[in-house]
Structure 1
Amino acid sequence: MTEPHLRIGIMYHPEIIFRLNETYLLAPNGVPYEGIQKVNYRDGKIWLNDELVDEETLVFNPVRYHEASFELNDVTIGIQFHWERKEDQTFKGSLEIMIENDQLTAINILPLEDYLVSVISSEMSATSNMELLKAHAIVSRSWMLAQTQKSNSLKETEKIYQSISETPEEYIRWYDREDHLNFDVCADDHCQRYQGITRQSTKIVEQAVAETRGMLLMNNDKICDARFSKSCGGISETFENVWEPEVHPYLQSIIDNPTLSEGYQADLTNEEAAQKWIRNAPEAFCNTHDKEVLSQVLNDYDQETTDFYRWKLTYQQTDLAELIARKSGRDFGSILDLIPVERGFSGRLIKLKIVGSKLTLTIGKELEIRKTLSESHLYSSAFVVDKQNITDGIPGEFILTGAGWGHGVGLCQIGAAMMGAKGYKYDEILLHYFRGASISKEY
């Protein structure tokens, strides 16, 4: 295997304004460009600096790769999250602009290892513990290559990727691969956070990537689809309970602690066990308020969220009914109950029954539940529900008490940061979260 070049989807808009900070050559004719450029999509065509271009794709390649960079204006980050915002971002490598879905898509093309330096700095603080950085570099590299292999496999088989199952009583959907046909991954949290060289990297990040160059998590000679989330909430989840019904032996449920706290169960598919776990705060690597450790994993906008391990959210009846109707596109009437139907091993809801005065429907999987019950994304689907102020069978208030932040599969970033702070080495961190995997240098 040799180091691959990646295609990362950055932004999607009818007009893209960017600055070339060095000389770039426009393929295929090799015309040089520098400085501020504007590309528009009008009447089904691409316009470059208000001149019609007889191409459906523009590719700007740097003359001097290591010295060159380009800046994209108004890139949206945190898409549909509570901290969504726009910022100008700077990138290494080539810039491709193509027509897609009646607008323009900007794609960054660059070598995998350079991509990783940015991902590690974007996903967490560039001043993190070296062992955490090494572990995350291997996880991100493995995930990235597993996704490109999966995309290639789907293209070869021409198999239609299905992620929705619907009946009159049930709507089940998961979100993973169906959005990206013309590039390998996107740049936002939907894939893994990538913000070019906008987030200032450090020598320690470059060192962590260089010292783990080509190292991958493997299982039975296959690259592991190595997932990660902010906080597992004390127990991690299995792959098949979050995405497609395919079992990955290295993505199983594990206790995020050397031992299970006394009086608790490790299998939270049982409702009583889940209630006890979520309503309390058992010991776990990710059960921490250590600001120094949290600052390693959380960039400034992530720290706008203060409760990771356990959280609470209160909805008034009118607000919840309006939210669910708007997010689901269905009129449930008044919300009478939110009933757990099926939980994963971490207590995350795989299926939730929404009982309304006009409609009753079971929804899943975890991200569909989180999207339906929040303006952006509920922190996780590991929650229990309390109803208050009930009048004529209609609750006036719903209180959600929850555990963790994210899907909870694979590496727990806050837990891994705590392990690094406690002196665990990168391979110990990885083999704690990815049981049965091995670490192999493949290029």
Structure 2
Amino acid sequence: MKEPQLRVGIMYEPKISFTLNGIYILQQNGEEYTGKQTASYINDKIAFDGLVDEELIFYPKFYEEGSFDLFDVTIGIKFHWERKEDQRFKGALHFICEDEKLTAINVLSLEDYLVSVISSEMSATSSMELLKAHAIISRSWLIAQVIKGAELKKSETNYQSIAETDEEYIRWYDREDHVNFDVCADDHCQRYQGITKQSTKLVVDAIEATRGLVLTSEGEVCDARFSKCCGGVAETFENVWEPENHKYLQAVIDNPKIPAGYDMNLENEEAAVKWIRTSPEAFCNTTDKEILSQVLNDYDQETMDFYRWEVSYTQGEISELIERKTGKEFGQIIDLIPVERGESGRLIKLKILGTKRSLVIGKELEIRKVLSESHLYSSEFVVDRVGEENGIPAKFILKGAGWGHGVGLCQIGAAVMGANGYSHKEILLHYFKGASLEKRY
């Protein structure tokens, strides 16, 4: 296998300004360009320098020397810390038309992409063993996505991620958002901010030391997922995404031993309630700022209550929020009722009971979207109804655990393991049970 070339979707706007640093050649006319440029969407075509075409491909005359800047790139799309940044990228720049906008796609080699991802996902000053572990899972996930995308194209089947009846709305979010490139640049895929984030020799060394190394299971490259904080137990893949079992993405207790005094059958409501309302020992249960700074960038450190958290809504706030997010009129909200939990205690299905209607929603990200202006930290929560009058609560308090979907590697747990002397192989095999390490190129 050769090192793959990747297509990464960066931004989506009707008009995109960019600067070419070094000499770039436009494939459509063979001309050389450098400096500040602008491309615009016009009637399903791209207007640039007197050209009107369906796509534009700028590639650097000298790959190692060329880079380009994109301005006002939105990062953290629909997350609580969403903001805009100017970003710089290595490799080629490809513009296409999608949804009456331009899509800017960065085309570059996989290993160059990883240098940025590791520096964007976490601090470039993290421990070497954590960086090696993250390089391997990021590389594995990416190759698995490229393979999966190619298989979906070949099969020509319509990828389904919504199941809807009058009583239920179940949706998961994975492949359907981008069919014209391999991955997006935001947290929906892997956080990628080009060469904007300052990398270090440590990151480059970690990637070089693991070059071509991936996690495999039964000969296939693992779809190696990760999230910020599992809340003490990692979740199984099929409870978050499509109903497909992966042997290496199962529930994992993020602790060398089972915490004393807990029933770990967290699909059981009583066991889940005790687990979420308390703070059991786990690798990811840490307040060590030095360790957390390895995983949490500046804007991530605005969030420090990730292991156990709490949000509250008045009756007016929650009824308005749910109606706006679902597009359905529930009236006043009477209750939020757990219907089904996964093995980590995360809600897979939640029943919203209102005075005008009720509906069961899922999976975890849909629940997080409906109950927050951006996203709840996770779907692992319990609900307290406060100030009930005539069966209608005045307030809802959600007490929760973890940050993210919780499947696969827990970044904060892995950072603690690295700080405690675990090797990258030990970290990986803790979270991906039964997987193997294999060099593919």
Q: TM-score, normalised by structure 1?
A: 0.99
Write the letter of the residue equivalent to 2:6.
L
1:439 equivalenced with 2:437 (yes/no): yes
Distance in 1, matches of 2:66 and 2:42, equals: 29
Match of 2:349 in 1: 351
Q: 2:138 aligns with which of 128, 137, 140?
A: 140
Deviation at 1:76, TM superposition (A): 0.2
Deviation at 1:44, TM superposition (A): 3.0
Match of 2:299 in 1: 301
1:19 equivalenced with 2:19 (yes/no): yes
User: Would the aligned equivalents of 2:45 and 2:55 in 1 still touch at CA under 8 Å?
Assistant: no
Match of 2:192 in 1: 194
User: Would the aligned equivalents of 2:43 and 2:100 in 1 still touch at CA under 8 Å?
Assistant: no
Match of 2:78 in 1: 80
Counting matched residue pairs gives: 441
Query: Structure 1 stretches (4+) deviating beyond 4 angstroms?
Result: none
Write the letter of the residue equivalent to 1:87.
E
Distance in 1, matches of 2:379 and 2:44, equals: 42
Match of 1:154 in 2: 152
Deviation at 1:173, TM superposition (A): 0.3
Distance in 1, matches of 2:297 and 2:3, equals: 29
The Cα offsets for residues 57-94 of structure 1, whole Å up to 9 and x where unpaired, read as 10001011111110001100000001101110000000
Distance in 1, matches of 2:124 and 2:12, equals: 28
Write the letter of the residue equivalent to 2:56.
L
Deviation at 1:266, TM superposition (A): 2.1
The Cα offsets for residues 1-48 of structure 1, whole Å up to 9 and x where unpaired, read as 110100000000100000001000000432000000000112332111
Match of 1:30 in 2: 30
User: Would the aligned equivalents of 1:235 and 1:266 in 2 still touch at CA under 8 Å?
Assistant: no
User: Would the aligned equivalents of 1:25 and 1:61 in 2 still touch at CA under 8 Å?
Assistant: yes
Distance in 1, matches of 2:261 and 2:275, equals: 10
After TM superposition, list the pairs within 5 Å mapping 1:308-347 onto structure 2.
308-347=306-345
* Secondary structure of residue in 1 paired with 2:348: strand
Deviation at 1:285, TM superposition (A): 0.1
Distance in 2, matches of 1:179 and 1:41, equals: 20
Match of 1:127 in 2: 125
Write the letter of the residue equivalent to 1:265.
D
1:6 equivalenced with 2:6 (yes/no): yes
Distance in 2, matches of 1:78 and 1:105, equals: 17
Gapped runs of 5+ residues in structure 2? Answer: none
Distance in 1, matches of 2:99 and 2:157, equals: 21
* Secondary structure of residue in 2 paired with 1:299: coil
After TM superposition, list the pairs within 5 Å mapping 1:250-399 onto structure 2.
250-399=248-397
Distance in 1, matches of 2:52 and 2:369, equals: 41
Match of 2:182 in 1: 184
Gapped runs of 5+ residues in structure 1? Answer: none
* Secondary structure of residue in 1 paired with 2:412: helix
Q: TM-score, normalised by structure 2?
A: 0.99
* Secondary structure of residue in 1 paired with 2:88: strand
The Cα offsets for residues 268-313 of structure 1, whole Å up to 9 and x where unpaired, read as 0000000000000100000000000000000001011111100011
User: Would the aligned equivalents of 1:23 and 1:62 in 2 still touch at CA under 8 Å?
Assistant: yes
The Cα offsets for residues 162-199 of structure 1, whole Å up to 9 and x where unpaired, read as 00001111100000000111100000000000000000
Distance in 2, matches of 1:163 and 1:330, equals: 20
* Secondary structure of residue in 2 paired with 1:104: strand
User: Would the aligned equivalents of 1:384 and 1:402 in 2 still touch at CA under 8 Å?
Assistant: yes
The Cα offsets for residues 222-263 of structure 1, whole Å up to 9 and x where unpaired, read as 000000000000000000000000000000001000001111
Distance in 2, matches of 1:2 and 1:221, equals: 17
The Cα offsets for residues 130-182 of structure 1, whole Å up to 9 and x where unpaired, read as 00000000000000000010000011111110000011111000000001111
Distance in 1, matches of 2:120 and 2:22, equals: 24
Write the letter of the residue equivalent to 1:201.
S
Deviation at 1:265, TM superposition (A): 2.0
Match of 1:406 in 2: 404
User: Would the aligned equivalents of 1:385 and 1:398 in 2 still touch at CA under 8 Å?
Assistant: yes
* Secondary structure of residue in 2 paired with 1:251: coil
Match of 1:247 in 2: 245
Distance in 2, matches of 1:197 and 1:15, equals: 23
Task: Provide the identity percentage.
Answer: 68
Write the letter of the residue equivalent to 2:277.
R
User: Would the aligned equivalents of 2:5 and 2:108 in 1 still touch at CA under 8 Å?
Assistant: yes
* Secondary structure of residue in 1 paired with 2:429: helix
Structural RMSD (CA): 0.7
Distance in 1, matches of 2:198 and 2:11, equals: 20
Distance in 2, matches of 1:336 and 1:344, equals: 24
Distance in 2, matches of 1:327 and 1:130, equals: 42
1:70 equivalenced with 2:51 (yes/no): no
Q: Does the C-alpha gap of structure 1 residues 135 and 216 become closer, same or farther in structure 2, counting only changes over 3 Å?
A: same
Match of 2:107 in 1: 109
The Cα offsets for residues 398-432 of structure 1, whole Å up to 9 and x where unpaired, read as 01000000000000000000000000000000000
